[in-house]
Amino acid sequence: MKNRIERLKKEKNAVILAHYYAPAEVQEVADYVGDSFYLAKIAKQSDSDIIVFCGVQFMGESAKILNPEKKVLMPDLTADCPMAHMVKDGIIDQMRAKYKDLAVVCYINSTAELKCLSDVCVTSSNAVKIVKSLPNKNIFFIPDHNLGRFVAEQVREKNIILNDGCCPIHAKLTAEQVAAQKEKHPNAKVLSHPECDAEVLAVSDYIGSTADILAFAKRDESKEYIICTEDGVDYKLRTENPSKRFYYTDPRPCCKDMKLNTLETVLSVLEKEENEVIIDAELSERALIPLNRMLELAK
């Protein structure tokens, strides 16, 4: 299957982008593997005719919005991020009516419709920097309250209003689960994604996006780590750090939508050119504004 995928990529001038949460065998055939921010930048720079995006809907959508003229395919169009929908109808308008100078800051893990209603997008690796750089005092951070709270703690000068949304995978992790691993591996450092609850972040040695966690594990001198994020990162953690050990909370955090990306589904979309991401042109143009603003402000 890997050989057939390689051949089709060349024949069709296609590129495969995969998030760190995609299964290991998919990361192996991908041309670019990264966190949401890196993949958005790569999608924008790509000169291929076809982009196969191995992630979830908001990632495929963002790639299409950034490249309206390209064919963006997803191995499984039903792979979705539940958090991307967790903003109540009408609440953005209510907030805008309440705060005159409001900036709506939208985590990229959101639908194209929510991006249209927002002033700027962020990812977990640039949220603090971008929120700091905004002239607005009042910020409505959607949809993730955990990332919003993490940003608020570091940008004290702003009034950051949180929304009632979260990642169901990260929000399930508890401080007790971390403590249970710590008991077994007392020297292990705890590395966590900011989508985790406050109680997990409070017992963490390092907090960052998936790419930040990988970079930290590479440069740090410890030998053992307890990883508080989705277990797809394990593939790169192990291949980049063969002498180090990585442990996960029990049960191991797993995003079933990310795991819908398989060698079979990648091969199938490359062969048939099915599962194209289609976005209404007007919606796409409006959603491009906060995405481009993110790319500018993050520079």
**Judged by CB under 6 A, which of 17, 35, 114, 134 binds ligand 13P?**
35
Which window, 67-75, 120-128, 260-268, 276-284, contacts ligand 13P (CB under 6 A)? Answer: 120-128
Q: Is 81 near ligand SF4 (CB under 6 A)?
A: yes
* Residue 209 contacts which entry, ligand SF4, ligand 13P, none (Cβ below 5-8 A, type-dependent): ligand 13P
| DSSP result, 163-179 | -S---TTGGG--HHHHH
Distance, in Å, from the CA atom of 193 to the CA atom of 219, rounded to the nearest integer, reads 17
Please select the residue that binds ligand 13P; options are 76, 195, 197, 257, rule is CB under 6 A. Answer: 195
* Interface size with ligand 13P, residues (CB under 6 A): 11
* Interaction mask 209-238, ligand 13P, x per CB under 6 A: xx----------------------------
For residue 261, state whether it binds ligand 13P (rule: CB under 6 A). no
Which CB, 17 or 169, lies closer to ligand SF4?
169
Say how many Å lie between the first and final Cα of the chain, rounded.
38
Beta bridge partners of 50: 14, 71
* Window of 118-126, 135-143, 177-185, 235-243 that interacts with ligand 13P by CB under 6 A: 118-126
Note whether 87 binds ligand SF4 by CB under 6 A: no
**From ligand SF4, ligand 13P, none, which one binds at residue 82 (CB under 5 to 8 Å depending on kind)?**
ligand SF4
Q: Which of residues 61-100 bind ligand 13P (CB under 6 A)?
A: none
> Residue 242 CA to chain centroid, in angstroms?
25
Q: Is 136 in the site for ligand SF4 (CB under 6 A)?
A: no
By CB under 6 A, residue 109 contacts ligand 13P:
yes
Query: For 81, phi and psi rounded to 5 degrees?
Result: -105, 115
Of 62, 171, 43, 165, nearest to 111 by C-alpha is 62
Return the residue of 230, 247, 249, 294 that touches ligand SF4, per CB under 6 A: 230
Buried b (16+ CB within 10 A) or exposed e, 245-278: ebbbbeeebebebbbbbbbebbbbbbeeeebebe
Binders of ligand 13P among 141-170, rule CB under 6 A? Answer: 167
Q: Does 36 bind ligand 13P (CB under 6 A)?
A: yes
- Identify which of residues 138 and 163 has a Cβ nearer to ligand SF4 in the complex: 163
Residue 169 or 191: the one with the smaller Cβ distance to ligand SF4 is 169
Tokens standing for 63?
A: 């790639």
Give the interface with ligand SF4 as residue ranges (CB under 6 A).
56, 81-83, 109, 167, 169-170, 195, 230, 255, 257-258
- Residues that bind ligand 13P in the complex, under the rule CB under 6 A: 35-36, 109, 123-125, 167, 193, 195, 209-210
